[in-house]
Structure 1
Amino acid sequence: MTPAEIAKLQAHLRQLLGNQRITIDPPKRKNQSVELRVGDEFIGTIHRDDEDGEISYAVQIVVLGEDLD
């Protein structure tokens, strides 16, 4: 994802979820998924899919069992 694409996606998620602490960290290597955070807390990844010219983003949120206790 390009820096401009990350910025647009981050702004959209902040507005959609009503949380200005949401950040998207750029990938460490090309074509890797980006990391989704709320504040300093890692909560998941975002994957970009470009199929037949249609671009979409899949958000995968991770919840550890120990966080539920």
Structure 2
Amino acid sequence: MKKIIKEFKLSYKNMILGGFFGILRGILLVFFFLLIFHYFNEKNYNFYKSHSILISIFLTLKSFFYSF
């Protein structure tokens, strides 16, 4: 791993920020697809919403932070 970091001249900050924004981009893409599914078919929208791991984790974290 250190060899790759030195070869591409990356820092650990760049890797952490890249991972954070990658996760954020993934969440935004999932919600964008949810918006599209909602307009196409209500049944597929509810199925995807109830079976998506990313959305269930996000909603659990949201309810956890709102409980404070």
TM-score higher than 0.5 = no
Higher helix share: 2
Bigger Rg over Cα? 2
Q: Structure 1 length as normaliser, TM-score?
A: 0.29
**TM-score, normalising length from structure 2?**
0.29
